[in-house]
Amino acid sequence: MTAWDVRLLARYALPGFVGSLLLSIGALGVGWLPLDPGILEFASVEALRGTTAGTLIARALVFVGVALILQAWLILGHDLLAGSDDPHSLHGIAPMTLVTVLVAWCAPLLITPPLFSRDVYSYFAQGRVLAEGRDPYATGVAVIDDWFQDGVDPMWAETPTPYGPLWLLLARGVANFASDQPALGALIFRLMALVGLALLVVYVPRLAASLGIDPAAAMWLTVLNPLVLMHVVAGAHNDALMVGLTVTGLALAGQGRPVFGVAAIAAAGAVKPIALLALPFAGLLWAGTQAGWWSRIRAWVLTLLVTVVIFVIASLLAGVGPGWITALSAPGEVRTWLSPSTALGMLTGMATTAAGITINDAFVVTIVRTIGTITGVAIIAWLILRPEGRSPVRGAALAFLTVVLLGPVIQPWYLLWFLPLFAVAGLTPVQLRIAIITTAGFALHGMAESSSTSDNLFEFSDGLAIVAAFAVVGLVLLVSPRERRLVLGAPLNHGLVPSDPEAQARAAASVFRGRIATRE
């Protein structure tokens, strides 16, 4: 082992590993488990879950674990972005070298209970619905026996699945394999999430390099992001597979393999349909940066044909129809203060209700959400139809950001929809700082919402958790000069942008210019 390897392990991998280890132990106490834990049923789980003291200890471990991961990530980011004259600089490091750090950070979380969300049990139950010959697009999981014992959130009991046919096909396979063991099913879904993570490991550096961005820095911001550990590895969300396939598709389309690229994005959409938003931008890559209108239209038509073929094949194999189209509104049934349109609607609704204008805030929330959706559609249409002056990858990033900001609901892991695309397309110093602070903020949100056993705690425990989370994250962000420099100043002065003439040339070549002429 070289001195470089020792430094990498000791300075970056080990602190994150310890944080993940504490997080995994805490998950035994406050992670999500079905009523019958099955393969995860052993004495230490009951010791942490069965008493108030055990739950408090478990939650404290989660707090400390997330804090250590966040700090390790910030230190690694500082050293990657620092200039070559900094004694801690990792300038010029190969992106694949960071895989060692990623593996160390992820390893303790591989067999722990799901944490920060129990969506994974909904995946399992929806797979059971399909395995029993029912249509998950027409009914919720409440139609199957023992759905509640599987760990599904009752909020989704009557809600049709919003996922694509490929995901239902995979979910059915997991349900058939795991049988009556939802905890085993959750571990298998985590492996699927890791497949998405592996795709990001391979294609984020490649796409970043092709656009003139430092591959290692892009990989740090996205693949090693604390939210990846929290919501991809610990949470096992299918967003990981969706995002991995989307980035893969854009990379392949940009490398001159548009059919494979579009097929990958179509497969991502067949996992979670929001990924279809990237298809028009893949079409622009297919047409080429100098394409006029007829070339763009031809590319978009071909993109549509490839997508239809992928969806038809996946639907036939899964035995379902196009019900995912009408089921897309299911996530919007959740109200969250994280969504600007929903938050504005609820605040306005409170005011109108207090004034006696409305009975409650439901109508006002619907109106504000509708305005947000219409505005979002208009912005996305402009990004597609007026792509000049930016790369198609940046256009896709802006489109996903628009959906998240103006959509009816935001979840912390939605940040991962667009962060990889912005990282590979480039970020100014201000934008990079916003990405770092947003990551810290969503990590804080996950910490405050980490308990699945709140009934064991005092009624004001969630308020205490929020205060404690703020204190911990604030301490991590400002605890040492390196963290302060990363968050508040240098080495972000140069942002995540092309740093040499060759990289600048690649970035310039990726910008869509098009042709004004209508005849080609």
The length of the chain in residues reads 520
* Rg of the Cα atoms in the chain: 23
Q: What is the mean pLDDT of each run of 10 residues along the chain (520 residues)?
A: 64 88 87 67 58 76 87 86 65 84 93 87 90 87 79 80 92 89 90 96 94 92 94 93 96 93 96 94 92 91 95 91 71 66 77 74 79 91 92 94 87 90 91 88 75 41 54 61 60 70 84 62
- Amino acid 249: pLDDT: 96
Q: What is the 3-state secondary structure (H, E, C) of 45-107?
A: HHHHHCCHHHHHHHHHHHHHHHHHHHHHHHHHHHHHHCCCCCCCCCCCCCHHHHHHHHHHHHH
Distance CA 34, CA 172 (A): 18
What whole-number distance in Å separates Cα of residue 161 and Cα of residue 267?
Answer: 17
- Non-local (6+) Cβ contacts of 172 within 8 A are 127, 130, 131, 318
Output the pTM of the full model: 0.89
Rounded distance between C-alpha atoms, residue 157 and residue 148, angstroms: 8
User: By the 8 A CB rule, do 397 and 380 touch?
Assistant: no
CA dist 214 to 129, 226, 424, Å? 45, 20, 8
Backbone angles phi, psi at 276, to 5 degrees: -60, -20
Contacts of 246 (CB under 8 A, 6+ apart): 264, 265, 268, 275, 278
Give the side-chain half-sphere CA count within 13 A for 98: 29
Rounded to an integer, what distance in angstroms lies between the CA atom of residue 79 and that of residue 490? Answer: 11
Q: How far apart are CA 60 and CA 479, in angstroms?
A: 19
Angle at 343 between CA 341 and CA 347, to 5 degrees: 115
Bridge partners of residue 427, in order along the sequence: 496
For residue 496, report the phi and psi dihedrals to the nearest 5 degrees: -115, 80
